Amino acid sequence: MVAKVTLNRTLSLPMMVLYGLGTTIGAGIYALVGEIALVSGYFSPVSFLIASLLAGFTAISFAELCGRFPYAAGAAIYVKHGFSSKRLSTITGLLVVTAAVVSSAALLNGFVGYLHQFIGMERVVAIILVTLLLGGIAAWGIAESVTIASLITIIEIGGLLLVIAVSNTALAEFSTRWRELIPSADIISWRGIFVGAILSFYAFIGFEDMVDVAEEVKDVERNLPIAILLTLGITTIIYLLLMITAVLSVPPSELASSTTPLVYLFEYHTGRNATVISIIAIFAIINGALIQMIMASRVLYGMSSRGQLPGLIGIVNKWTQTPLIATALVTAIVLTLALIGRLASLAQTTSLIMLSIFSLVNLALWRIKRKEPNPTGVRTFPIWIPMVGFFVSSAFVLNEVVHLLST
Is 45 inside a domain boundary? yes
CB neighbours of 91 closer than 8 A, spacing ≥ 6?
A: none
Domain extent at residue 103:
13-406
For residue 280, report the phi and psi dihedrals to the nearest 5 degrees. -65, -35
How many domains does one find in the chain?
1
CB of 77 closer than 8 Å to CB of 98: no
Kindly report the number of other CB atoms within 10 A of residue 359's CB atom: 20
CA dihedral (63, 46, 167, 278) positive or negative: positive
Mean pLDDT of 39-49: 90
Stretch 150-163: mean pLDDT: 91
pLDDT value at residue 381: 93
CATH number at residue 19: 1.20.1740.10
Per-residue pLDDT of 203-251, as tens digits, reads 888 888 899 888 889 998 899 999 999 999 999 999 999 999 999 988 8
| In a domain? residue 7 | no
Higher pLDDT, 141 or 391: 391
Would you place residue 2 in the very low, low, confident or very high pLDDT band (cuts 50, 70, 90)? very low
Task: Describe the crossing of helices 13-24 and 142-166 by its angle, rounded to 10 degrees.
Answer: 60
Please tell me the pTM assigned to this model.
Answer: 0.88
Helix-strand-coil percent breakdown of the chain, rounded to 5? 80, 0, 20
Q: Does residue 291 form part of some domain?
A: yes
Residue 2, in any domain of the structure: no
Give the model's confidence band at 196: pLDDT under 50 very low, under 70 low, under 90 confident, else very high.
confident
Virtual CA dihedral for 233, 176, 190, 257, nearest 10 degrees?
Answer: -90
- Structure confidence at residue 347 (pLDDT): 61
Give the chain's mean pLDDT: 87
Any domain includes 22: yes
In a domain, 232, yes or no: yes
Q: Which amino acid is at 130?
A: V
Please state, in angstroms and rounded to a whole number, the distance separating the CA atoms of residues 302 and 289.
20
Strands (E), 21-71: none
Does residue 407 have a pLDDT over 70? Answer: no
DSSP 27: T
pLDDT of residue 1: 42
CA–CA distance, 128 with 126 (Å, rounded to integer): 6
In a domain, 1, yes or no: no
Rounded to whole angstroms, the Cα distance separating 267 from 274 reads 6
Q: How confident is the model at residue 388 (pLDDT cuts 50, 70, 90)?
A: very high
The pLDDT value given to residue 278: 80
Cα dihedral 339, 75, 396, 405, rounded to 10, equals 40
Q: What is the largest distance, in Å, between two alpha-carbon atoms of the chain?
A: 73
SS3 383: coil
240-288 confidence digits (pLDDT tens): 999 999 999 888 888 888 877 888 888 888 888 878 888 888 888 888 8
217 beta partners = 11
List, for residues 23-37, the tens digit of each pLDDT value: 888 767 876 888 888
CB within 8 Å of 230: residues ≥ 6 apart: 17, 20
Quickly state the pLDDT bin for 142 (edges 50, 70, 90).
confident
Q: Is residue 5 part of a domain?
A: no
